[in-house]
Structure 1
Amino acid sequence: MVFSTLKQEKPVLIEAPGKAQKVVIWLHGLGADGHDFEEIVPHLSLPEQHGIRFIFPHAPISPVTINGGMQMHSWYDIRSENLLEDVDAAGVRVSCYRVFELIENQIKEGITASNIYLAGFSQGGLVALNAALSGQYSLGGVIALSTYCPMAEQFYLHRDMPILMLHGEQDPVVPIHIAEASRDAIQKGGYQVEWHSFDMQHQVCAEELVQIGEWLQART
């Protein structure tokens, strides 16, 4: 399944030291771009020869309703503050297709699906969860940061896939009760979720990056 008609900016690429054995495709949040998480790699405390290629794609620029129709990098439209019920499902699907194409490109380069991981922050986390748990490939796992998942009841594939969810306890953008409800819905579907919360808002913190690094090392 290839979606070559979906034009994209070239992703930011951080090549693995030595030969790439694993790949992490990391999706940014609303209004950011692929450079947003580019500098986190050294802070994951990975071994010097970790063998992980990091890919940071850019969301397309499109109008976002909740921001007055402003054009910005966005994986899908956000129409209201009702995050769990007012969902741009079509926009999420299109972004999942973009992720599927990135996955297929890595498979063509010799990386097996089980050695590909999706990660995402906020909007990017929602797309990462949907792409990982509804796509045809059984990936190595998915990391969802400061996000939510309104379509969890639709997931039925890859129930053995490792899922790491991380959230800020004072998050004003995606309140933690929304994230917890999403976690519970995913677990209700038969998935195992590793959950951690941190004393922070809608952001990342050093402790969280260490947690992500340890999680990746346990699977490399």
Structure 2
Amino acid sequence: MIDNDMIVVETKPACDAAIIWMHGLGVDGSDFPPTIPYLKLPKELAARFLFPNAPEQAVTVNGGMVMRSWYDILSMGIGREINDAQLQSSVSQISDIVTQQIDAGIAPERILLVGFSQGGAVAYETGLSYPGNLGGIAAMSTYLPRPIEQISIGNNSVAALSMPILSLHGEHDDVVPLTLGESAVEQLKQKGYQPEWHTFKMAHEVSVESLAVLGRWITQQLSK
């Protein structure tokens, strides 16, 4: 279960937009709040940032060590072999956070999902399967956790093809190879989505340049 000590950062006393940001494997929700200033968002943007913590559980590829992870990774090759039940549990709990924000008065189209690495995989899966169109998905240094054809299973439909998707990746990523990011973008395109794809001369990380692109994308989506 996702920890209740979710970090919440509000840019205004009354927020009309929500950005739910999932961290990567082995860290926690405190990883990304320091990057907010680098997004250079407009001062008038009233956005609530939510940084949930993944549960602590064993990760097979890391020798069974217990760490924060959205799901177990069983093997790493060209793709990823994962614990699908744990993925779906994380997706369900992030979806609950989305629903809570809607119940609190945030319009679905003003809710963005952002995720890095394993958190980006959860962002992809949640945004594409949530029963209601959200404002967009920003996936950083990540991959689709399972073939996109499988995402609609159990749902009446997947997200509208018009939903904005931003995909960012490092050209020198030795943790999640660039080819996995490219494969995700290609699958999305084949499905009919129009993801915005950017690569950067970096490894498995974020950079000032990539955060600037993310900030411009967030501003664009929340200024409609």
Per-residue deviation, 1:87? 2.7
Q: Tell me, which stretches of 5 or more residues in structure 1 are unaligned?
A: 1-5
| Worse overlay, 38-47 or 27-36 | 38-47
Equivalent AA in structure 2 for residue 154 of structure 1: Q
The 5-angstrom pairing of residues 3-152 of structure 1 reads 6=1, 8-82=3-77, 84=79, 86-149=81-144, 150-152=146-148
Taking the aligned partners of 1:123 and 1:94, their CA distance within structure 2 comes to 14
CA-to-aligned-CA distance 1:85-128 (integer Å, 9 cap, x gap): 52322111110011011011111110011110000000000000
TM-score normalised per structure 2:
0.92
Per-residue deviation, 1:159? 1.6
* Gap change, CA 1:128 and 1:52, over 3 Å in 2: same
Which residue number in structure 2 is paired with residue 215 of structure 1?
217
1:164 maps onto 2:166 in alignment: yes
Taking the aligned partners of 2:86 and 2:107, their CA distance within structure 1 comes to 27
The answer to whether the 8 A contact 1:17-1:48 is kept is no
| Worse overlay, 99-108 or 22-31 | 99-108
Which residue number in structure 1 is paired with residue 194 of structure 2?
192
The answer to whether the 8 A contact 2:172-2:178 is kept is yes
Quote the RMSD (CA, aligned, Å). 1.3
Equivalent AA in structure 2 for residue 137 of structure 1: G
CA-to-aligned-CA distance 1:36-64 (integer Å, 9 cap, x gap): 00111111011122111100000000000
Instruction: Give the aligned length.
Output: 215
Taking the aligned partners of 1:192 and 1:97, their CA distance within structure 2 comes to 25
Taking the aligned partners of 2:62 and 2:12, their CA distance within structure 1 comes to 40
Taking the aligned partners of 2:29 and 2:78, their CA distance within structure 1 comes to 23
| Worse overlay, 53-62 or 148-157 | 148-157
TM-score normalised per structure 1:
0.94
Identity %: 41
* Gap change, CA 1:95 and 1:51, over 3 Å in 2: same
SS at match of 1:91: helix
The answer to whether the 8 A contact 1:14-1:54 is kept is yes
Equivalent AA in structure 2 for residue 169 of structure 1: E
Taking the aligned partners of 1:7 and 1:206, their CA distance within structure 2 comes to 29
The answer to whether the 8 A contact 2:2-2:90 is kept is no
